Structure 1
Amino acid sequence: MAWLSDANNWIALLEIIGVNIVLSGDNAVVIALACRSLPPTQQRLAIIFGAAGAIVLRAILTVFAVLLLAKPYLKLVGGVLLLWIAIKLLLPDDDGDGETEGNAGMFAAIKTIVIADLVMSLDNVLGVAAVAKGDVVLLVLGLLISMPLIIYGSTLIMRLMGRFPVVITLGAALLGYVAGEMAVTDPVAAPWIEANATWLHMFAPLLGAVLVVLAGKYFARRKKRAVVEVAVEQQESKP
């Protein structure tokens, strides 16, 4: 009861919720991209379980945020991983039949959401950790309250993707931008960049966005071409 009666705790809780909402825009984009091709029922399940898993991992990550972010090469590796995730999200889905393929697609979407959120949260958790000041109750409550808002945001973005396909490309480009931002703030690269190439703070995120779009479109065309060739070969082999 003492915790509930402390006004400072309520103010800090509101701050944590605000930080989570502001910093979770790109996470909502990932959820929408990963779930956009699933059937409606599976979309809801993938969004709920994916967001829940991401929230749990983000809470754990926040506890160790300062130690993790000081490790060299972590952000560089995370940036490369996020680039690959963004490119994969632009590829057309494989056609499949039956419940097994559907479930596999849903679990793949959940896995993508959790991994991408974990990578992108490397920077985000610092803001939450600073506000929580080691108070686990505040941290958990803030993340739990933020979760429905993240789910709603991802659902809204997914609807926009269904109506305006260009939003898919823009969402993937945003992830590439975030990957570029992560890379230039790695403890290994940051001192050299600050001393010799501050322009990389603007150039690297833009390069990441362009690279994701170009690579995604290229691999998408290759995948579609391969599918057509297989279909033609199967048709020709029929008696």
Structure 2
Amino acid sequence: MDNQFWIGLLQIIWIDLLLSGDNAVVIALACRGLPEKQRKWGILLGAGAAVGLRIIFALIITYLLAVPFLKLVGGILLFWIATKLVVGEEGGDHGNIQESDNLWKAVRTVAIADAVMSLDNVIAIAAASHGNVWLFIFGLALTIPLIIFGSTLILGIIERFPIFVWAGAALLGWIAGEMLLSDPVVLRQLLAWGTGLVTPVDVSQVYPAGLKPTAIAHYGSAVVGAVIVLILGYVLRKRREEAAATH
């Protein structure tokens, strides 16, 4: 309980508050199609999965980030999740789907998306804990009500303004674009091509490959990721609506 403990605790709380917005968006998007009675459970279970997965990844993040192609696969998976959230289930037949199935499908979507996003987000939190596992877990536990409140707030906004579904999907595409570019294999290949899009840095927990993308490359890939999700989601949604109209 010295000053370093309290400073570390405050840092963890602040970092997790900044990063919990992604989780709130994913939880709100995944739970928007649930019956009213199940939405609270979806938000509670989704928030629990989000925090639990961050704790797990924090314990093994050093090893995960050193695995080639992991972020590459994770970014592609996140693209798929974002596109699926855009297309949604509007206009489909929900009568044959049991409510419990819908609830667990929503929680599963949250768990997969957060597992992918946590690969990047949890680095800063793990670093602030300075190896103190209990400090990290305690700091995350304090943010659970904030994640739940944020999810409820965003869900209410989405119901009134459906355009925020597209904004949330674009956010996931942005994160996916960042993740794809930060994979060690991609960074080494860009350096070998002499593109000038990467910069050598000291090897650390944050930069296990000893490379980092330039600002132009970083934000450029993020913008491209968001655009890809919006275009792909629009095309697939149109096709689904046309197919439903013909039947």
Q: TM-score, normalised by structure 1?
A: 0.89
Distance 2:121 2:112 in 1: 15
Structure 1: segments with no counterpart, 5+ residues: 231-239
Residue 177 of structure 1 is matched in structure 2 by: 174
Shift of 1:76: 0.5
**Does 1:34 pair with 2:30?**
yes
Residue 56 of structure 1 is matched in structure 2 by: 52
Alignment of 1:14-93 (within 5 A): 14-93=10-89
Equivalent residue of 2:108, what SS?
A: helix
Shift of the 154–197 alpha-carbon distance from structure 1 to 2, 3 Å rule, reads farther
Paired positions, count: 225
Q: Look up the equivalent residue of 1:224 and give its one-letter code.
A: E
* Residue pair 2:23, 2:50 contacting (<8 A) in 1 also: no
Residue 233 of structure 2 is matched in structure 1 by: 216
**Does 1:6 pair with 2:5?**
no
Distance 2:239 2:170 in 1: 20
Distance 1:201 1:32 in 2: 27
What whole-Å deviation, never above 9, does each CA across 1:167-197 have from its counterpart, x for those lacking one? 1101100100100000111111123435414
Distance 1:81 1:89 in 2: 13
Residue 211 of structure 2 is matched in structure 1 by: none
Shift of 1:227: 2.5
Q: Look up the equivalent residue of 1:15 and give its one-letter code.
A: Q
* Residue pair 2:86, 2:237 contacting (<8 A) in 1 also: yes
What whole-Å deviation, never above 9, does each CA across 1:50-72 have from its counterpart, x for those lacking one? 11022111101001111111211
* Residue pair 1:193, 1:200 contacting (<8 A) in 2 also: no
Find the partner of 1:95 among 68, 73, 93: 93
**Does 1:131 pair with 2:128?**
yes
* Residue pair 2:69, 2:185 contacting (<8 A) in 1 also: yes
Q: Rg larger in 1 or in 2?
A: 1
Distance 1:170 1:191 in 2: 32
Distance 1:73 1:128 in 2: 23
Which shows bigger deviation, 49-58 or 220-229?
220-229
Shift of 1:95: 2.7
Distance 2:56 2:219 in 1: 31
Which shows bigger deviation, 132-141 or 191-200?
191-200
Structure 2: segments with no counterpart, 5+ residues: 198-215
Distance 1:197 1:101 in 2: 53
Residue 196 of structure 1 is matched in structure 2 by: 195
Q: Look up the equivalent residue of 2:93 and give its one-letter code.
A: D
Distance 2:101 2:129 in 1: 37
Q: Look up the equivalent residue of 2:176 and give its one-letter code.
A: A
**Does 1:229 pair with 2:246?**
yes
Equivalent residue of 2:68, what SS?
A: coil
Distance 1:45 1:34 in 2: 12
Q: TM-score, normalised by structure 2?
A: 0.86
RMSD between superposed Cα atoms in Å: 1.5
Which shows bigger deviation, 185-194 or 145-154?
185-194
Equivalent residue of 1:196, what SS?
A: coil
Find the partner of 2:159 among 162, 186, 194: 162
